[in-house]
Amino acid sequence: MWSTDDVARDSVRRQGNALTAAVVAERVAEAAVRERETSKQALLGDTFCEYETEPERLADIWAAKHMEWQRVRDLMTQSGWSRYEPELDLQSSQWAQERGQQRQATLSAHAAHLARRHDERDGLRTELWVSARAGRLIRAAADRAGLQPAEVLAQLAERVVVGKDGTLSVPPFSPSR
């Protein structure tokens, strides 16, 4: 989820493209009014049904938008720009790049999580209780192969053959890494 600053920066970057200094000044004034209104409504506990968001978050977003519009206005004044061009705004471009990297990292992490869940669905995790005699045999085979007992059981399960009559058997094999 984007922070209120990220929401404001992205919004101003998109909406501000090619705006003149006079229009940017109007946006600063509008954001100041919205900041006051939403702040007041948040304090009163009013809801914003049309926006379906928490009043505090909306107030925070408008405060952040107000600050960002002011930053753009000041940058345009200092740089002598007649129109706002987001590509020339180094700070805004850096923030946009960071948001893009965050988004890509989040998407990659989500894809990896889905892949792990898919693999887990295909696999089987279980707790197995075996007799003392069977346990000793499995531990001995694991020790000889330098494996954990669970690894020997996994190799054993991978080699199970199901007969036509439903019987299970395992051809002889030596556990290995």
Span of 15-29, 40-54, 78-92, 144-158 with lowest mean pLDDT: 40-54
pLDDT of 52 reads: 56
pLDDT of 29 reads: 98
The mean pLDDT value of the chain amounts to: 91
pLDDT band, very low/low/confident/very high, at 134 (cuts 50, 70, 90): very high
Q: Does the pLDDT value for residue 80 go beyond 70? A: yes
pLDDT average, residue stretch 34-40: 93
Q: Does the pLDDT value for residue 119 go beyond 90? A: no
pLDDT of 44 reads: 82
How far, in Å, CA of 129 to CA of 50, rounded?
58
Distances (CA, A) of 33 to 14, 28, 55, 124, 155: 21, 9, 15, 59, 69
Q: Would you give the end-to-end CA distance of the chain in angstroms? A: 43
Residue 7 near residue 57, CB atoms below 8 Å: no
Residues 6+ apart with CB under 8 A from 54: none
How far, in Å, CA of 113 to CA of 107, rounded?
10
pLDDT band, very low/low/confident/very high, at 27 (cuts 50, 70, 90): very high
pLDDT average, residue stretch 27-49: 86
pTM, two decimal places: 0.63
